[in-house]
Chain A
Amino acid sequence: MVQGRLAWRVGRLAEVRDETPTARTLVLDVPGWPGHLAGQHVDLRLTAEDGYRTTRTYSLAAPAAGDRVAITVQRVPGGEVSPYLTEVFAVGDPVELRGPVGGWFVWRPTSPDPVLLIAGGAGIVPLMAMIRARRAAGSRAPVKLLYSVRTPADVYYAGELRRPEPGLDVTVVYTRKAPADWPGEPHRIGIADVNTAGWPAEFAPQCFVCGPTGFVETIADVLVALGHDPRRVKTERFGPSGS
């Protein structure tokens, strides 16, 4: 079983959707895909013509749907792989991938507990998979999403998150530039935002925090300071350095 999950498979790019000017969703067709849980990720392996190879990790952006697997890649300036995936990699092209990987940062639709999702930037990707998994399963677990972005143009899945959905509360915090009708000044998420947009600690929600390292560190500390049980705070840190 483990062998199968971690064998390299060949996927083909079936569809692309631009989420923002710098982020693109890639839908891959992966014959024999074993399925996955929301919050898990895949490893993508790229091989150049001279045999050079490199691997990067990407969270799955949607629950399993047959052989279709979706990821959303944020272009990192000067990066080796993300500019290729968001600009060059074209429909029909093959890429190797393996997974799903990661069994800790996952949400299961059978859980009735309240859920608090806190995302910074591309950290929305695995949390969106949880929101979509909840919808697909008809779960009634109450979910609150607190999402930090720089500007309105940086919101991933904007149309989908704007659509009202029973039991899902979405709060966006802007760090650089806010829309005209947004109350308050652009700022980084702090204790007041988490307190207002989150669940009281007594409700014992499952908390999932994902984003750049510095963001995750800050938010996890805030949750613990607000009385959340550290064992119910799961974190995923993207990228090599804080920002």
Chain B
Amino acid sequence: MGIVTPGFRGRARTADEKLPPGQYLVEDFPVLSAGPTPRVRTENWRFTVTTETGRTHEWSWADLLALPSETPTVDIHCVTRWSKLGTSWRGMSLDTLLADVDTAADYVLAECHGGYTTNLPLEDLLDGQAWIAYEFEGEELAPEHGGPARLLVPHLYFWKSAKWIEGLRLTLDEDLGFWEAAGYHTYGDPWREQRYQGD
């Protein structure tokens, strides 16, 4: 249903199967964040996983780089409607990072430098679906794109791929992250256009 907007035709459309509904392709890499870009130094960088019992697992930058890396090539979809196809990254699979973490949690709150958070179901970070990425297209990840390291969860809207990642907090119940508490969708599946709560 819906009402017709008189005289509106829209651009000539191509059906691109790789493009979720409502998205358009970009060649550049737009930047969207809620404040200034932090410059995080790898000397001070720590990545922490905290379980629901309060147990912490910690990696320094050197610890992280010592883990086996992967080079996923994935499509990314921003809730502001741009998509970028075939982006290539280097990073550590969350399967590797979470392998020795003992947890009964169902949810994760990703925590970032500056206080940004985003929530995800734990199962969406496992089975080859998510990485801690530190290179983009063969270069170290630029600060405006989340460098030195960001979460990469390409099957969800890109605000879930938290920039300047510092840790994951595993919880039994779901806490809402920054945008989610502000009305964005709890899950954020681009193929179902889950932009805002209630979509």
Chain A positions within 8 Å of B, measured between CB atoms, are 2-3, 5-6, 8, 10, 45-49, 52-55, 57, 80, 84, 88-90, 93-96, 101-105, 213, 217, 220-221, 223-224, 230-231, 233-235, 237, 240-242
Contact = CB atoms under 8 A, between A and B. Distances in A.
Interface residues on B, range: 35 or more
B80 interface: yes
Contacts of A96: 2-3, 5
A57 B80 contact: yes
13 contacts: A2-B196, A46-B5, A48-B8, A80-B11, A93-B7, A94-B6, A103-B183, A104-B182, A230-B38, A235-B36, A240-B30, A241-B26, A241-B28
B154 to A, nearest CB: 19
B31 A217 contact: yes
A94 B3 contact: yes
B144 A93 contact: no
A47 B197 CA distance: 23
B36 A233 contact: yes
Interface of B: 2-11, 13, 22, 24, 26, 28, 30-38, 80-82, 114-115, 144, 178, 182-183, 196-199
A83 to B, nearest CB: 10
B35 A234 contact: yes
B5 A94 contact: yes
In terms of DSSP, what is the predominant structure of the interface of chain A?
mixed
A84 B197 contact: no
Contacts of B37: 217, 220-221
A101 B183 contact: yes
Given A47-B3, A103-B182, A213 B10 contact: no
B31 A2 contact: no
B182 A52 contact: no
Nearest to A225: B36
B7 A235 contact: no
A6 B196 contact: yes
A102 B158 CA distance: 17
A213 to B, nearest CB: 5
Contacts of A230: 35-36, 38, 114
A32 B34 CA distance: 30
Contacts of B30: 213, 237, 240-242
